Chain A
Amino acid sequence: MAAGPSRNLGRYLVVAVPFVWLLVFFLAPFFIIAKISLSTTAIAMPPYTPVFDGLTGLWDNLAEFSFENYVWLTSDQLYIRAYLSSLRIAFISTVLLLAIGYPIAYAMARAPSSIRPTLLMLIILPFWTSFLIRVYAWIGILKPEGLLTVVLQTVGLLAPNEQVRIMNTETAVLIGIVYSYLPFMILPLYAALERLDNTLLEAAQDLGCPPIKAFWLVTFPLSLPGVIAGSFLCFIPIMGEFVIPDLLGGSETIMIGRTLWTEFFNNRDWPLSSAVAVVLLLILVVPIVLFQNQSARATEKGR
């Protein structure tokens, strides 16, 4: 292979351009968040007192670091409850997504290969339509004078003077999350189930294994990579979800993404919202690293 200087420069640029972009706009901001979370709130623009400028001043100013925001986070019940309720909602919705997504992905993988691309397209299509629109669509259905009330009244399951009380509850948030994230769960599950070697199942059946037992002994274990990928792909972003709890949830459904948004946009407390973000990131760092490793390994395998 000829390795001229222009060739090396080209190779260098292919790596360097996206690398530098991500270093500057993805990685560097986390250090700034960490730095600002350690400063104190001030009424100014930007509304925080700078902690240090540059590395030289770092040691001089170390004494000025303030853990006030973190102390505040642990002392106020509101934040602890918001983190815990985000964890709980993310966990419940991931389980629900698995329970609903698995049969759909399974049926898609079992469908005749001629209609599989169409089914796949039908799953992806709602994913292309706006997140906000999909959440908005549920408001019209779930609100007290909404479509669900009308349908249930017409069918007779609800008295004419009664209304469904789902809107602004945690149930509404769960419905919205499951609806919005379903494609993210189905696609990795489908990818894992489609690759499944059918001869293994046939062998199990030939040896007299009943279908349900064969499913738990053969199909499910082999689809585990899809289960793991789908769960990460849903659980991590749901933890920080803002739009769904804000539009469908009531005042009692506090999630940490919504708390961060309120601290930032309504209370204009930049250092405190940075501290909220740092703690959220610390909670998510293990699942994120596991997700990265899993994705990288899947790519290596596909090679």
Chain B
Amino acid sequence: MNKNLSWFNVTSLTLGFAFLYLPILLLVVYSFNESRLVTVWGGFSTRWYVEMWNNQGLMDAAWVTIRVALLSATVATVLGTLGAIALVRFTRFPGRTLFSGMIYAPLVMPDVITGLSLLLLFVAMGLARGFWTVIIAHVTFAMCYVAVVVQSRLVTFDQSMEEAAQDLGCPPVKTFFQITLPLILPGVIAGWMLAFTLSLDDLVIASFASGPGATTLPMKIYSQVRLGVTPEINAVCTILIGIVTIGVIIASIASKRSEVERQRAERLAAATP
């Protein structure tokens, strides 16, 4: 196979990335626009960031969203990791097909159906809609993404390490925390981050599951966007993009470093007679 990319491949990559990044780039650039009009460049300004900061409704919604995302991502990571272990390690238990179906179905289920069905459940259960119902809703769909991410990590690692620990008399819970968890940790962290951004991102399910007093940022952005494009929303979006980008870069550096360390440890182990 030729080492260099053909002109066809280079072109498709360039066009593809331009298509993916140009709209986001324009959005970021215009958040620093002095003018209120999207098409007129009125000079560099941070005025919209100040206005955003002073917009109490927007800031309240941001705070609700961050709390929802932190809590739901954490619960979803615990449940999703358990689900992944159940799927990969326990090949036979009653209802396994149903269980694996319930893990995969939410990945493609349209948001309007998930949202409406959860809302009707909350009403039937007599739960007051608000902060906690949004968390339950987010945990439910995010845990499936976590399960899939952790599962892909679980299937690739050597099970003999766990067996060795257990043969040496290590109790199962201790084996999990000392052997299994450190090995699948990159997957668990990636799963948590995915759950966090999914929760940060969700408009449709939150709109159904939420009640008065628990307006999330996407709900706020949506209601403002319906009224028209404002640079203030560009500023909010730019900050969200910034947070996510920094998070993803840190996570990828961390996972690369842990990979390098693992390889070094393996080489050391191999070199030791």
* Complex contact A15–B99 (CB within 8 A): yes
Total A-B Cβ pairs within 8 A: 263
Q: Which residue of B lies closest to A103 (CB)?
A: B12
With A and B bound together, what is the CA distance between A107 and B7 in angstroms? 10
Q: Does B229 contact A (CB under 8 A)?
A: yes
**Interface residues of B, count at CB 8 A:** 94
With A and B bound together, what is the CA distance between A132 and B139 in angstroms? 20
Q: Does A260 contact B (CB under 8 A)?
A: yes
A-B contact pairs, 29 of them (CB 8 A): A19-B95, A26-B102, A29-B118, A30-B117, A32-B117, A103-B16, A106-B12, A107-B5, A107-B16, A112-B3, A122-B20, A129-B24, A130-B240, A132-B225, A133-B221, A136-B221, A136-B229, A137-B27, A143-B229, A147-B26, A149-B39, A236-B110, A237-B111, A247-B226, A274-B120, A288-B108, A289-B101, A296-B104, A299-B88
* Complex contact A136–B100 (CB within 8 A): no
Q: Does B87 contact A (CB under 8 A)?
A: yes
* Complex contact B229–A139 (CB within 8 A): yes
Q: Which residue of A lies closest to B204 (CB)?
A: A242
Q: Which of A46, A138, A295, A299 contacts B23 (CB 8 A)?
A: A138
Residues in B with CB closer than 8 Å to A33 are: 113, 116-117, 120
Q: Does A61 contact B (CB under 8 A)?
A: no
Residues in A with CB closer than 8 Å to B38 are: 140, 143, 145-147
Q: Which of B13, B99, B111, B226 contacts A108 (CB 8 A)?
A: B13
* Complex contact A29–B117 (CB within 8 A): yes
* Complex contact B39–A145 (CB within 8 A): yes
* Complex contact B229–A126 (CB within 8 A): no
**Interface residues of A, count at CB 8 A:** 97
A104-159 with Cβ < 8 A to chain B: 104, 106-108, 110-112, 119, 121-126, 128-134, 136-141, 143, 145-147, 149-150
* Complex contact B105–A17 (CB within 8 A): no
Q: Which of B80, B118, B252 contacts A25 (CB 8 A)?
A: B118
* Complex contact B113–A277 (CB within 8 A): yes
Q: Which of B30, B79, B90 contacts A17 (CB 8 A)?
A: B79
Q: Which of A29, A129, A288, A292 contacts B121 (CB 8 A)?
A: A29
Given contacts A140-B38, A198-B1, contact A237 B82 (CB under 8 A): no
Residues in B with CB closer than 8 Å to A13 are: 82
* Complex contact B86–A19 (CB within 8 A): yes
With A and B bound together, what is the CA distance between A104 and B156 in angstroms? 27
Q: Does A249 contact B (CB under 8 A)?
A: no
Q: Does A195 contact B (CB under 8 A)?
A: no
Q: Which residue of A lies closest to B207 (CB)?
A: A265
Q: Does B197 contact A (CB under 8 A)?
A: yes
Given contacts A19-B99, A25-B140, A104-B12, contact A130 B237 (CB under 8 A): yes
CB distance from B134 to the nearest CB of A (A): 13
Q: Does B241 contact A (CB under 8 A)?
A: yes
Interface residues, chain B, CB within 8 Å of chain A? 1, 3, 5-6, 8-10, 12-13, 16-17, 19-21, 23-24, 26-27, 30, 37-39, 79-80, 82-83, 85-90, 93, 95, 99-113, 116-118, 120-121, 123-124, 136-137, 139-140, 143, 147-148, 151-152, 155-156, 166, 171-173, 193, 197, 200-201, 203-204, 207-208, 218, 221-222, 225-226, 229, 233, 237, 240-241, 244-245, 247-248, 252
Q: Which residue of B lies closest to A240 (CB)?
A: B110
* Complex contact B113–A302 (CB within 8 A): no
* Complex contact B23–A137 (CB within 8 A): yes
CB distance from B239 to the nearest CB of A (A): 11
* Complex contact A134–B86 (CB within 8 A): no
Residues in B with CB closer than 8 Å to A232 are: 108
Q: Which of B113, B155, B166 contacts A1 (CB 8 A)?
A: B166
Known: A132-B222, A280-B112. 10 other contacts (CB 8 A): A18-B143, A22-B83, A32-B121, A103-B16, A110-B5, A132-B225, A136-B237, A261-B112, A274-B116, A295-B107
Interface residues, chain A, CB within 8 Å of chain B? 1, 6-7, 10-11, 13-15, 17-19, 21-23, 25-30, 32-33, 36, 46, 100, 103-104, 106-108, 110-112, 119, 121-126, 128-134, 136-141, 143, 145-147, 149-150, 179, 182-183, 198, 201-202, 232-233, 236-237, 239-243, 247, 257, 260-261, 264-265, 270, 273-274, 277, 280-281, 284, 287-289, 291-292, 295-296, 299, 302-303
With A and B bound together, what is the CA distance between A218 and B30 in angstroms? 46
Q: Which residue of B lies closest to A28 (CB)?
A: B121
With A and B bound together, what is the CA distance between A120 and B113 in angstroms? 31
Q: Which of A15, A112, A182, A291 contacts B86 (CB 8 A)?
A: A15
* Complex contact A141–B86 (CB within 8 A): no
* Complex contact A107–B9 (CB within 8 A): yes
CB distance from A25 to the nearest CB of B (A): 4
Given contacts A132-B218, A136-B237, contact A125 B245 (CB under 8 A): yes
Residues in B with CB closer than 8 Å to A198 are: 1
